[in-house]
Amino acid sequence: MCGIVGYLGVKDSIPIIIKGLKRLEYRGYDSAGVAVLDEGQLCTVKQAGKVKDLEAALIESPCSGRIGIAHTRWATHGEPNDVNAHPHVDQTGKIALIHNGIIENYNSLREVLKQQGVSFTSETDTEVLVQLISTIYQQDNLSFTMSVQAALQEVVGAYGIVAICADEPDTIVAARFGSPLVLGIGDGEYYIASDASPIVEYTRNVIYLDEGELVTITFTGYTIRKIAEDNIVTKEITRIDLSVEEIEKGAFPHFMLKEIYDQERTIKDTMRGRLLLSEGSAHLGGIQDYLPRIEKVRRFYITACGTSWHAGLIGKYILEEFANIPVHIEYASEFRYRKTILDGNTVVIAISQSGETADTLAAIRKAREQGALTMGICNVVGSSIARETDCGVYTHAGPEIGVASTKAFTAQVTVLLMLALLLGRRRGLSLDTGVALVNALDSIDQLVRHTLDQANKIKQVAKENQQADNFLYLGRGLNFPIALEGALKCKEISYIHAEGYPAAEMKHGPIALIDEKMPVVVIAPHDRTFDKIISNISEVKARQGRVIAITDKCCPELERISDFIIEVGEMHRIIFPIVATIPLQILAYHLAVYRGCNVDQPRNLAKSVTVE
Ligand code: AGP
């Protein structure tokens, strides 16, 4: 996924679009570039590297103009280098284009254009699109807007694009199909970006472009039309409540660490106004109208990717336990292509922090086509999945900038707990059980605070295990998904190979890996499987494994067989998975820092995978 930002207004665009790129750099960061129109001249500066490298290049080769577009890239076609960086310019040198997505038929389009005499300088699908726009603009005597529209009608794939043309130096054209675009409306100034974070400090008035929409922006206003039908559409202006502080990292060295500490507040924010203590239930306004249908369905599917899938697995366990509903959990990339048997008696829940993950979006579209009721659990307001599902619940964790998901995950699990409680109480769950769960959820911030206070101890654990080449994470029941999540955090930011397993599964193979060099993180609360976990830990110790135990309270048995113990406090078993995640996030963070990794922008990753 890439970051896109554009500006048209009375100021020099360069400072605005560079600052905008920095706010979007979490979306992709292997190359970056800008293009501006200055008195009808197109000036482009682009290169491999980070936005700060681009800033340095702009000092060497300055350009300015009141219309500018900028891009930070996560490579899909063509390696990260200067030539493949965006913006791409057509062979006349008059049109510049930036793109987020994949043009799937770019090879066939490239061949047709080559036969028409077009020569290409890069390996990218994006260059094919800009050359196609240029060819149409030159041959068909269409306006720039109409040329972009005509070119997009030949394209197959996903795109969020922004383009400018030296022959129409008062215009920006942008369009989306599969990759998000937000139009910011200022006072005589306009912004276009992949999400609201580069816009919010200038204006809170935005329009979310929908699939297949194209916007033409000029100094006199904007016009939005459907690409396919060419009819003008009127769209509602939304006022966003994002604050600049929320997208800054403040005194923290990394966004990820800030977002880990945010959890003392964000988990409560997720529940704010939604817990019903006297009824032992929850109120989720975004699904209220659909409850009569939801509570009667025969089964649920949960579909997601990555960390969100881990939250979904916990959701399966708790919905089955408390609401007595059969739940299938599936990776969205599998769900979208296999033969699924859905109908009006199925609810399909899509969990997505960004609300833009391509596989999850495709899964939801398939579910709708097959008549299922779709529900989104998203963190980004106005995101595609949030808008394309029949109903849903926002997690209210605030913008999550660090590529490794932390506060969004605990917020997702919290929403799923509230959903299980709400549906459970309508399907026979007792008032007493419900009240106990609400009380447990309501007191969680104190437990989060206590866990965060263990950060230095966890940092020491990371220090003593930073040289490991492999980690194993073990858990049982609700804590098995937490083991998976802990392993994902570890591998995606410290690049240490890590695997999560059901603790009992260790004997069926992974135990062969255990030796004195293997740290094994075991999630070991005093629940009904504690004795089994103790046996699993003993099996690790017998093979000289290094045991890192995450528990609710220390005890002689654990102290005897563990090398490190992190105690998170006694609590209701149902909220233990949420709290136990936090030490694993902190452990992964410090492992990455000790190993000199880029915590907020881990190699090869992007914050939201809007391509397949
Ligand atoms: C999580 O740390 C990863 N960055 C990744 O697995 C992520 O959870 C996954 O790509 C799904 O993203 P989404 O929640 O925005 O759909």
More confident residue, 246 or 270: 270
* 361-367: average pLDDT: 97
More confident residue, 272 or 129: 129
Work out which ligand 1 atom sits closest to the CA atom of 305. 11
- Return the exposure string of 442-457: e unless at least 16 CB atoms fall within 10 Å of the residue's CB, then b: eebbebbebbbebbee
CATH number at 159 reads 3.60.20.10
My answer on whether 275 and 419 are in the same domain is yes
My answer on whether 28 and 162 are in the same domain is yes
Work out which ligand 1 atom sits closest to the CA atom of 385. 16
pLDDT at 197: 87
Among 193, 220, 246, give the residue marking a domain's end.
Answer: 246
Per-residue confidence band for 370, with pLDDT thresholds at 50, 70 and 90: very high
My answer on whether 367 and 462 are in the same domain is no
Query: If residue 213 lies in a helix (H) or strand (E), which one and from where to where?
Result: strand 213-218
Round the average pLDDT of the chain to a whole number and report it: 93
* 262-291: average pLDDT: 93
Cα of 393 from ligand 1 centre, angstroms: 17
Atom 6, ligand 1: which residue's CA is nearest?
306
Q: Which of 420, 444, 407 is nearest to 573 (CA)?
A: 444
Mind listing the pLDDT tens digit for each residue in 537-591?
Answer: 999 999 999 999 999 999 999 999 999 999 999 999 999 999 999 999 999 999 9
Residue 608 domain-assigned (yes or no) = no
More confident residue, 251 or 387: 387
Cα of 125 from ligand 1 centre, angstroms: 25
Cα of 406 from ligand 1 centre, angstroms: 10
- Kindly report the three-state secondary structure assignment for every residue of 517-572: CCEEEEECCCCCCHHHHHHHHHHHHCCCCEEEEEECCCCHHHHHHCCEEEECCCCC
Among 246, 278, 293, give the residue marking a domain's end.
Answer: 246
For residues 70 and 63, is the Cβ–Cβ distance under 8 A?
no
Per-residue confidence band for 104, with pLDDT thresholds at 50, 70 and 90: confident
Residue 406 domain-assigned (yes or no) = yes
Probe target for ligand 1 pocket from 254, 389, 405, with the most ligand atoms within 8 Å of CB: 405
Residues serving a catalytic function are 2, 607
Atom 5, ligand 1: which residue's CA is nearest?
306
**What's the token pair of residue 33?**
């570039």
SS3 content of the chain, % helix, strand, coil (to 5): 40, 25, 35
* 436-448: average pLDDT: 95
Q: Provide residues with CB under 6 Å of ligand 1.
A: 305-308, 352-354, 357, 360, 403-405, 492, 608-609
My answer on whether 70 and 210 are in the same domain is yes
**What's the token pair of residue 152?**
């997009």
- Kindly report the three-state secondary structure assignment for every residue of 312-353: HHHHHHHHHHHCCCCEEEEEHHHHCCCCCCCCCCEEEEEEEC
Residue 201 domain-assigned (yes or no) = yes
Cα of 475 from ligand 1 centre, angstroms: 21
* 184-213: average pLDDT: 94
Q: What is the sign of the dihedral through the CA atoms of 475, 478, 483 and 486?
A: negative
Residue 611 domain-assigned (yes or no) = no
Per-residue confidence band for 248, with pLDDT thresholds at 50, 70 and 90: confident
Cα of 382 from ligand 1 centre, angstroms: 18
What gap in Å lies between CA 592 and CA 495, rounded to an integer? 8
Sorted by sequence, the CB contacts under 8 Å of residue 269 that are 6+ apart come out as 396, 397, 398, 411
My answer on whether 255 and 219 are in the same domain is no
**Does residue 612 have a pLDDT over 80?**
no
Probe target for ligand 1 pocket from 608, 610, 611, with the most ligand atoms within 8 Å of CB: 608
Work out which ligand 1 atom sits closest to the CA atom of 607. 4
My answer on whether 226 and 280 are in the same domain is no
Q: How many domains does the chain have?
A: 3
Using a cut of 0.85, tell me whether the model's pTM lies above it.
no
Among 246, 270, 292, give the residue marking a domain's end.
Answer: 246
My answer on whether 426 and 474 are in the same domain is no
pLDDT at 26: 66
Residue 44 domain-assigned (yes or no) = yes
My answer on whether 168 and 278 are in the same domain is no
What gap in Å lies between CA 136 and CA 255, rounded to an integer? 44
My answer on whether 376 and 474 are in the same domain is no
For residues 261 and 389, is the Cβ–Cβ distance under 8 A?
no
Per-residue confidence band for 394, with pLDDT thresholds at 50, 70 and 90: very high
Probe target for ligand 1 pocket from 259, 303, 349, 353, with the most ligand atoms within 8 Å of CB: 353
My answer on whether 279 and 412 are in the same domain is yes
For residues 346 and 300, is the Cβ–Cβ distance under 8 A?
yes
Atom 3, ligand 1: which residue's CA is nearest?
404
> Among 60-74, 78-92, 473-487, whose mean pLDDT is lowest?
78-92
Residue-range definition of the domain harbouring residue 494: 451-597
Q: Which of 537, 169, 130, 157 is nearest to 358 (CA)?
A: 157
My answer on whether 326 and 356 are in the same domain is yes
Query: If residue 186 lies in a helix (H) or strand (E), which one and from where to where?
Result: none
CATH number at 370 reads 3.40.50.10490
Residue carrying structure tokens 């990759």: 179
Q: What is the sign of the dihedral through the CA atoms of 35, 36, 37 and 42?
A: negative
Probe target for ligand 1 pocket from 27, 74, 255, 308, with the most ligand atoms within 8 Å of CB: 308
Cα of 601 from ligand 1 centre, angstroms: 13
Work out which ligand 1 atom sits closest to the CA atom of 307. 8
Cα of 397 from ligand 1 centre, angstroms: 14
Cα of 158 from ligand 1 centre, angstroms: 19
Q: Which of 340, 364, 335, 342 is nearest to 298 (CA)?
A: 342
Atom 4, ligand 1: which residue's CA is nearest?
404
pLDDT at 608: 78
Residue 609 domain-assigned (yes or no) = no
Residue 610 domain-assigned (yes or no) = no
My answer on whether 287 and 309 are in the same domain is yes
Query: What burial class does residue 292 get, using C-beta atoms within 10 Å of its C-beta: 0-12 exposed, 13-18 middle, 19+ buried?
Result: exposed
Mind listing the pLDDT tens digit for each residue in 278-333?
Answer: 999 999 999 999 999 998 899 999 999 999 999 999 999 999 999 999 999 999 99
Work out which ligand 1 atom sits closest to the CA atom of 492. 2
Residue 404 domain-assigned (yes or no) = yes
Mind listing the pLDDT tens digit for each residue in 138-186?
Answer: 998 899 999 999 999 999 988 899 999 999 999 999 999 988 899 999 9
* Cis-peptide into 556, omega within 30 deg: no
* 423-441: average pLDDT: 96
pLDDT at 77: 65
CB-CB neighbours of 380 under 10 Å: 25
DSSP string of 140-167, one letter each residue: S---HHHHHHHHHTT--EEEEEEEEETT
